[in-house]
Amino acid sequence: MNALNPHPGLSSATPASLAPPALLEVDRVSLEYRTRERIVRATHEVSFEVDPGDRFILLGPSGCGKSTLLKAVAGFLKPEDGEMRLAGQTIEGPGADRIVVFQEFDQLLPWKTVKQNVMFPLPASGSLGKSEAAERAELYLEKVGLAAFMNAYPHTLSGGMKARVAIARALAMQPKILLMDEPFAALDALTRRKMQEELLELWQEIRFTLLFVTHSIEEALVVGNRILLLSPHPGRVRAEINSDAFDLHSSGSIAFQNAAQRIHRLLFNEQAPDAIQDFSFQDIRLSY
């Protein structure tokens, strides 16, 4: 079917009953957060399923609760309603089977060198001995092209290099699912493109499962194979779109542009260009 399908045997022709169970099941999850004066509903009854090897994107404008949703999957906050299961197990709290790559550069511990940063969680979570941890850290740092910087401290690295270290650290943990919260948003455009390319190369090599939050339609189409569109205030599922046909080299193509425009329409509730405009923009906003 296509080159990026992680399971060549599992094409769309496979009957749903024979499909293996999803790795991550998010079942009608409502999330709320508290400020001093009010309780804000961030997402309302959001459901989706992520299969092993998926590069699943949560896409939406700011305020759609996509980052909150990711934090809930990571276990940092509890859903008000609904349930999240990872490999059949209900998610109760933070754990080393779901590693988060954050957007912020200070996710690396400044008091540890690059290698120590990658190594540190390995013995800390009790999975490996020290020498094995060192070996694995070196392996993954080589994979992200930072073998020469193992003994550097994070503050001496550029933004892109810090992002690479964070990815190496997450991959070295070999989590069941890798969670990325707008990991490249703080990078400049050229570095971001390079990082997207490298992330896809890493995925080709390791075939990890990825849950990726972004607010960029282009990034979603390039990085993901499936995209969940969320509407804002509160976040609700608007659509799910397959984007496995696109990669970094298809961003100029007509199909890519059409997909981007379709997503744009869905997110901002605009009419398709050929549709008859019988009610105005404001009416649609009121119909929320």
Residues that bind another protein (CB under 8 A): 71, 74, 76, 94-96, 98-100, 102, 104, 106-107, 109-111, 120-121, 124-126, 153-156, 173
Which residue's CB is nearer to another protein, number 33 or number 120? Answer: 120
Which residue's CB is nearer to another protein, number 183 or number 222? Answer: 183
Residues across the chain = 288
**Strand pairing class (210-214; 177-181):** parallel
Which residue's CB is nearer to another protein, number 101 or number 263? Answer: 101
For 12, list phi and psi in degrees, rounded to 5. -70, -10
> Which of 70, 64, 153 shows the shortest CA–CA distance to 112?
153
> Which of 235, 251, 270 shows the shortest CA–CA distance to 60?
235
Which residue's CB is nearer to another protein, number 165 or number 223? Answer: 165
**Strand pairing class (55-59; 210-214):** parallel
Contact 68, 44 (CB under 8 A): no
Burial class (CB in 10 A: 0-12, 13-18, 19+), 133: buried
CB of 64 to another protein, least distance (A): 21
Contacts with 266 (C-beta within 8 Å, 6 or more apart), sequence order:
229, 238, 239
Which residue's CB is nearer to another protein, number 90 or number 253? Answer: 90
CB of 98 to another protein, least distance (A): 8
CB of 2 to another protein, least distance (A): 33
CA distance 164 to 159: 9
CB of 203 to another protein, least distance (A): 21
CB of 153 to another protein, least distance (A): 6
Which residue's CB is nearer to another protein, number 5 or number 116? Answer: 116
CB of 240 to another protein, least distance (A): 27
